[in-house]
Amino acid sequence: MTPSERRRLVGVLGLLSSEHDGERAAAGLLATRLLKSANVTWEQLLSNNAPARLASAQPRPGLGWRAEVAFCQRHPTLLTPWEQRFINSLVACVSLSQKQQAVLSKIARVVREKSVNER
């Protein structure tokens, strides 16, 4: 499994925490398809003896938008339903368009402000 395939799988697995049954089901199906296309089984992926190429995959520099997505996902009550769907849709992305990045940055900024005010 390549580092980009692994990152995509991690993103898809993040959707398993969705409050929506359909999103969780789709994420499980997509995760299974990703493993199949990489010719890796769940057992191999989760095994303590997983190939070093799986365990050594390091995130590339410049993926700061993923941290913003994760931050927003940790504060779902501060998001509108549309924002939640938008944030969850980004999890499986490999990269973002400029427009997606701008919207994400705006949402993350508002969530940071709201989370500070809640304290």
Taking only the tens place, the pLDDT of each residue in 88-109 is 999 888 888 999 999 999 999 9
DSSP symbol at 95: S
Taking only the tens place, the pLDDT of each residue in 15-42 is 888 888 888 888 888 888 888 887 878 8
pTM surpassing 0.75? no
- 11 and 63 in contact (C-beta within 8 Å)? no
**All residues at 6 or more sequence positions from 41 whose CB lies less than 8 Å from its CB, including other chains:** 35
> Which conformational region is residue 39 in: left (phi greater than 0), alpha (psi within -120 to 50 degrees), or beta?
left
**What sign for the dihedral angle of Cα 75, 77, 81, 82?**
negative
Single-letter residue type at 69: V
- What pLDDT, on the 0 to 100 scale, is given for residue 57? 37
